[in-house]
Structure 1
């Protein structure tokens, strides 16, 4: 168990030095290690195990996803197939990118960690259900955030219109619950109830997020944004791990521990995602540079920077105080100044350090349910992957 345990501490914005402008994020690994990309050693930490696990997950889960999507009425099916990257907008086949499959991979890895290969095989339908819910949230989030690009192509609402994108998202959520309702596995009813509760939490988190966007920069606290991020991102990763544990017939305390692991890993994931949203390379992310800054999004690095009490925080507050006009692309020079203000105020360093702390907490939760590191290899590899990515 000692391999998982790492001391954590709470950090305030501005406690650490600023990284150089334009540097790529150097996210933490499991246990809170701050490492530069490519520094990790062999085994799960080199990223290859996670990539292989994600590829195996896609091979197992995609047939279930395709069958579910193919059962939709034609109008909804066309939008969903486009969103997943399986068709072009005109309905012709595409070999697109359906996403990384992190959440279904967590379902399968958790089932394997607690129940072995048999539990993993039994949990494929549950993994597909989690991925359907994730994509329901993406379709809706893109509408609410007015995002115009996802997975290196125009978002569904920009192609098919807002009403159709929303309805397609609703249909994916219904498909997820139907998959579990029709699953003969003994854990399916508990899994369906847990996934439904998760959707409610996701919606509450998104509601909080949209409400925050209407508030002035100095009216939003860091604790509020962290709680919102747990609901929006941590909840589904926690649910994915918990569903895997349910399908392994785990004890309640182990289900709760894996939910806690996923939630803390999800917060680390969101922290790194927010860093990438500001400083990521558009060629890798598929989104315009500084898109979050253009729309004055109160992401975790931004709110941490605003709370730092530094001169750069005052500059950032002034920049964020300017009204956003929907449809504006954003001035490149102003975006660069805003990103630099976030960095100088400590937002970037704080986010990376906080992600390390959250991963340390995740490892502690994982050790409660899976004390033998070898059994938790898949979960460890995925945790490493999601916190060391640059897109």
Structure 2
């Protein structure tokens, strides 16, 4: 059951400064980049071309021509998963690669489902190569993800494969719920239903990434559960902040059109919270957004109303509560002090995301 108290008002818990967060992101990326390239290189040439383009590796397999190169957030989580139980970094490479492959599958398919023609400042893969080619590329990546874990030389490889499959199932359910919510009136969408959707769509893979390295190492079940819970809540917070960026972010940084989710009828948390406000402004938000797609000339009015009811602030407070829940789960894992500080640093870094 979702803890709806996470959406209550009140002062959020502060997290520790994250001086090493960027370093962890870089190390995670360095671990998964070679196996990611190897996985793509083994695909059919036409499918590999779509994947290379989507990943930002152009003709020279360099990301320099892409304005917005994605951070390997899930790889960093996998790295800390391994460090949490004192396992070798090669387990982090396996876990991070598998989860990153699934994540890239979700992006390929998500762009198609949402009709987003741009990603990272240039045409999305489906817009560049066609829908069929992008779907096939996503299918190929998820197969490679399962194969990566299946072939791992690790004591917990079988359990890790089951964990990964479960996470993919939950992610698909979350994506299905996200699409279903688009057809619902805004006032019919509760914060608890939003949270269930976000736990599947984003939280499941975050939770998997945070636990999978430990599972590969056959770590104690209580530690694995704590890491998975922390990752799940961090993923929900990440999704909420993504919702905020979709409305108030800088398109030059995010690489996607600002306001696209608003026009399409996505039930993002700032909108859900705004429509729940019992005021003329809150009711007007719900009234305007019952029309899908939202006429472009209505966008400025909706944005003014969101500001009036504090939609952004309410969503950011909810994200902070999920971050606090993630930190509490990490406390329960009783990790070594240095590793616990690294977790705090990464969480703080992700909490300040701007793209």
User: Is the structural similarity TM-score above 0.5?
Assistant: yes
Match of 1:206 among 158, 172, 175: 175
How far apart, in 2, do the equivalents of 1:370 and 1:167 lie? 43
Deviations 1:121-180 (A, max 9, x none): 333122101100000011111110111221222111111111111111111000000111
Q: Alpha carbons of 1:372 and 1:123: their partners in 2 closer, same or farther (altered >3 Å)?
A: closer
Aligned residue pairs total 350
Q: Distance in 2 between matches of 1:157 and 1:86?
A: 16
User: Residue 295 of structure 1 is aligned with which of 260, 264, 273?
Assistant: 264
Match in the other structure for 2:84? 113
Residues 170 and 201 of structure 2 are in contact (CA less than 8 Å); yes or no, is this contact kept in structure 1? yes
Cα distance per residue 1:179-203 (max 9 Å; x no partner): 1111121111111110001100000
Q: Is the 8 A contact 1:86 1:98 kept in 2?
A: no
Distance of 1:279 and 1:198 partners within structure 2: 30
Deviation for aligned residue 1:373: 3.4
Q: Does 1:57 align with 2:28?
A: yes
Compared with structure 1, are the counterparts of its residues 219 and 238 closer, same or farther at alpha carbon in structure 2 (3 Å cutoff)? same
2:14 maps to 33
1:294-343 per-position Cα deviation (integer Å, ceiling 9, x unaligned): 21211011111111222111211222122318xxxx63x53222122223
Aligned to 2:17: 45
What is the CA-CA distance between 1:10 and the residue it aligns to?
4.4
Distance 1:156 1:351, change over 3 A: same
State the 1:84 CA deviation. 0.2
Q: Which residue of 2 aligns with 1:324?
A: 293
Deviation at 1:93, TM superposition (A): 5.5
Match of 2:203 among 231, 234, 253: 234
Q: Quote the residue 2:49 is aligned against.
A: 78
Aligned to 1:68: 39
CA shift digits 1:30-79 (9 cap, x unpaired): x7229xxxxxxxxx724x41111111222221000000000000111010
Tell me the distance in 2 between the aligned counterparts of 1:384 and 1:94: 26
The equivalent residue for 2:346 is 382
Partners of 2:52 and 2:61 within 8 A in 1: no
1:309 aligns with 2:284: no
> Quick one: structure 1 residues 337 and 248, their matched pair in 2 at CA, closer, same or farther if it must change by over 3 Å?
same
TM-score, L = length of structure 2: 0.92
Whichever structure has more helix as a proportion of its residues is 2
Where relative contact order (Cα < 8 A, 6+ residues apart) is larger, the structure is 1
Give the TM-score of the pair, scaled to structure 1.
Answer: 0.84
Aligned partner of residue 33 in structure 1, secondary structure: coil
The alignment yields a C-alpha RMSD, in angstroms, of: 2.1
Q: Would you say the 8 A contact 2:155–2:217 is kept in 1?
A: no
After TM superposition, the structure 1 = structure 2 runs for residues 139-178 of structure 1, keeping only pairs within 5 Å, are 139-178=108-147
Structure 1 CA distance, aligned partners of 2:248 and 2:46? 37
